[in-house]
């Protein structure tokens, strides 16, 4: 069998206990992205290993971020874009032919 041992799965699951997330409190078609309506109130939820449970309340996105990232250690983006070298590459847009200048 290619299945992982149950103990490895349980360790991964238990490592996530206590994780927090901020969910916008909306009355329309369900949750939206965190950047949508930053002035809307947020419910801070905590993962207990089986379900998300209420943990705190924030009146804006900025306040929610202060609760989620108390040390100012907000997760960074993936980093700067890599430098592309010369060449056409598989995913690059083909260059238009250039006129010869003699």
CA torsion sign, 27 to 31 to 33 to 39?
positive
* β partners of residue 22: 44
pLDDT of residue 13: 84
State the pLDDT at residue 93.
65
At 63 the pLDDT is 93
What is the pLDDT, as a whole number, of residue 23?
87
- Please report which helix (H) or strand (E) contains residue 53, including its range: strand 52-58
> pLDDT tens track of the chain, all 102 residues?
578 888 888 888 888 899 999 988 877 676 667 777 888 899 999 999 889 999 999 999 999 999 999 886 655 555 676 666 666 666 666 667 777 776
Instruction: Tell me if 32 sits within 8 A of 24, measured CB to CB.
Output: yes
Core vs surface per residue 31-46: b (16+ CB within 10 A) or e: eeebeeeeeebbbbbe
């Amino acid at each position: 069998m290619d299945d992982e041992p149950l103990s490895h799965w349980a360790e991964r699951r238990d490592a996530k206990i206590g994780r927090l997330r901020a969910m916008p409190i909306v009355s329309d078609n369900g949750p939206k992205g965190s950047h949508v309506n930053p002035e809307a109130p947020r419910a801070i939820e905590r993962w207990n290993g089986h379900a998300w449970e209420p943990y705190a309340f924030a009146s804006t996105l900025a306040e929610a971020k202060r609760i989620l990232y108390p040390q100012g250690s907000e997760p960074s983006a993936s980093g700067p874009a890599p430098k592309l070298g010369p060449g056409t590459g598989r995913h690059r847009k083909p260059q238009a032919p250039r006129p010869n200048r003699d």
